[in-house]
Chain A
Amino acid sequence: MSIAADYLGMPLSIDELDAENLAYFRHCAAHDFHLQQCGACQLVRYPPTTACPWCMSPQSTWVPVDGKGAVHSYTEVHHAIQPAFKAHTPYLVLMVDLDTQKGKPSEHDALRVVGNLATPDGKLAPPELVKTVGIGTRVRMVFSDVAPGLSLPQWTIDETAQQPAKPWRYPQE
């Protein structure tokens, strides 16, 4: 069944034919991050796809994946393009290398999962928190609940992890 909901005043929807995204976000709605694992080569992939990008197999199962990793790159948006985000600038879009499967199948590859910097309860992070995060910051996954069957995975600073002394930030504040 399709899902349609509103998030920050922005219409989000998943079509009833979109089996992969329905499954992905259903797990997220349970605050339980899952990704597809290939039934043939066993590699895990992100975001959802309709076949294995490495071996073409159509067989996959949804497996739980630890939502922990480090910021690989980011952008800090000061001029929002979408009306939904104008009230939340500056906001961070993070590209996070999961610890799971990092460096596989080849050295520079990783499951790079996109999300905003959020507070532990899944709300977009305020400016004072945005300033503390950069490349190398250890983060853990939290969820922004949108509707039954649809929550967005987000990232928050991992309070329990050992953080780099100074994460790399763009030189101009």
Chain B
Amino acid sequence: MPLPADTDATTPKHLRDKYAIVGVGETTYTRGAGKTTRALGTWAVRNAIEDAGLKPSDIDGMLSYQMGDSTPGPFIAGDLGIRLNFYTDIFGGGSSTEALIGIAIGVIEAGMCKTVVVFRAMNGYSQVRIGGTGARSAAPVTGDMLHSRAYGWQSAGQMFSFTFLRHMYEYGTTPEQVANVRVAHSHHASNNPKALHKKRVTVEDVVNSRIICKPLHLLDCCVETDNATAIIVTRAERARDGRHHPVLIRSVAGRVCKPRGDMHYQTGPITRVAGHYARDILWPNAGVGPQDIDVTGSYDAFTFTTMLQLEDYGFCEKGEGGRYVSDGTIRLGGRRPNNTSGGHLCEGYTHGMSMVIENVRQLRHDVDDSCPLGADGRRRHTYDYSEGGCRQVKGCELSANLGWATPGTGSALVMRRG
């Protein structure tokens, strides 16, 4: 079969739109789930299978990521009666979601399996705290950590703040500008019944909350959460029989790194994040650019991470991120809303998964807000974004997810409504 004319040997353009996300699911978002990661993982994967309208026997691949804080895939599969032809549990955190979706495409393309579920299960509040307190901070300091943790430089906020602060210094970015990310996401969360923090906040609330480590206030930081999440990837032709409108994968960039992965700050400018490199893979393979995107999912471990990625993926000029996140663009009703679920700052921290799940629902035109259900079981969206109302983006056709691990590592995903 001839390949499309724009295919060349160096890019996977010929896979554009050939794979789809057909099912998404999650547990509740809580601080104190009272369940093991095995029980949480099983719950989320079952929800995703039911969302897709599939049976356990339709799933034959499983991918998960963890940081020594989860249950491996075969236990989840076993509990649900899934017989696997492929599985891998990888070590890693933020930015793994998009990378694993790419790997899922790869293993299906290689003929190793047919339908892959990607999951993440974590008690990020009640067991291994994602903020680094408890067991993580008590562990012995050795090897490369002698150059970081020995200085009280350990948590994600502490590790990333050199980038954040230098951005303020070089570009005049203000705390108030960046606080607008939290404000926008809190507005979105107020229209998300699942969200942990549904209360709308103001710029003043953010900048008056206590300092954690400069430049981060408490409300610049995401919320440690217990949850599991799952996403099902398969070939586009299988998606046509699914319960939902197909959501097709245009392009994936997975764990793209800045130079010096051992300590990325050794190469500058340190205000540059991995998106600067990932964008050269993401956009050409997607065949679209940032100007075409209707909704973004820029990882909000912190307010600053959202801003830095939008900037380096080209949604605005370098240094203009403060203006971009504070001029209304990223709010529901704006030109290009970001993290319409409320994201990690407000909905709950899922290590990236929930932002892809949200954009899948956006592209189905079926986000789970409080709009009334029609006779067909689908919501009749009002597009009234006032508190407690709608959060569906009108006419949403293209999304971009920008996953963050550190300033030095990121992943990305472009999806479109099929």
Instruction: Give the interface of A toward B (CB within 8 A).
Output: 7, 10-15, 18, 21, 25, 45-47, 49, 53, 72-85, 88, 91, 93, 95, 106-112, 114-116, 135, 152, 168, 170-172
Contact = CB atoms under 8 A, between A and B. Distances in A.
B215 interface: yes
Contacts of B262: 47, 49, 53
B175 interface: yes
Residue from the set A21, A53, A93 with the largest chain B CB neighbour count within 10 Å: A93
Contacts, number: 141
Contacts of A79: 210-213
Contacts of B372: none
B243 interface: no
Contacts of B150: 7, 10, 12, 152
Given A49-B262, A112-B266, A21 B148 contact: no
B165 A73 contact: yes
A171 B175 CA distance: 8
Contacts of A85: 152
Given A93-B158, A170-B168, A12 B266 contact: no
Contact of A75 (B147, B158, B263): B158
Given A80-B152, A135-B169, A75 B162 contact: yes
B242 interface: no
Contacts of A45: 266
B142 A47 contact: no
B166 A135 contact: yes
Given A49-B262, A108-B269, A75 B161 contact: yes
Contacts of A12: 140-142, 146, 150
A81 B259 contact: no
B210 A73 contact: no
Interface string B216-237: 0000000000000000000000
B158 A81 contact: yes
Contacts of B270: 72-73, 95, 108, 112
11 contacts: A7-B150, A10-B149, A13-B142, A53-B262, A73-B163, A77-B213, A79-B211, A82-B152, A93-B152, A109-B266, A116-B152
Contacts of B163: 73
B147 A47 contact: yes
B137 interface: yes
B133 interface: yes
Contacts of B133: 81
A81 B137 CA distance: 7
Given A72-B270, A75-B165, A15 B151 contact: no
The binding surface of chain B is classed by DSSP as mixed
Given A10-B150, A81-B152, 9 more contacts: A12-B142, A13-B141, A45-B266, A77-B212, A78-B213, A81-B154, A108-B267, A172-B211, A172-B214
A74 B265 CA distance: 12
Interface in B242-294: 259-260, 262-263, 265-270
Contacts of A106: 267
B386 interface: no
Contacts of B157: 75
Nearest to B137: A82
Residue from the set B153, B168, B212, B269 with the largest chain A CB neighbour count within 10 Å: B153
Interface in B174-214: 174-175, 207, 210-214
A83 B211 CA distance: 18
A66 B150 CA distance: 22
Contacts of B148: 114
A172 B270 CA distance: 22
Contact of B151 (A46, A53, A72, A152): A152
Contacts of B111: none
Contacts of A95: 162, 265, 270
Pick the 7 closest A-B CB pairs, nearest first: A108-B268, A75-B161, A85-B152, A73-B162, A73-B166, A76-B214, A82-B137
B132 interface: yes
A10 B141 contact: yes
Nearest to B143: A18
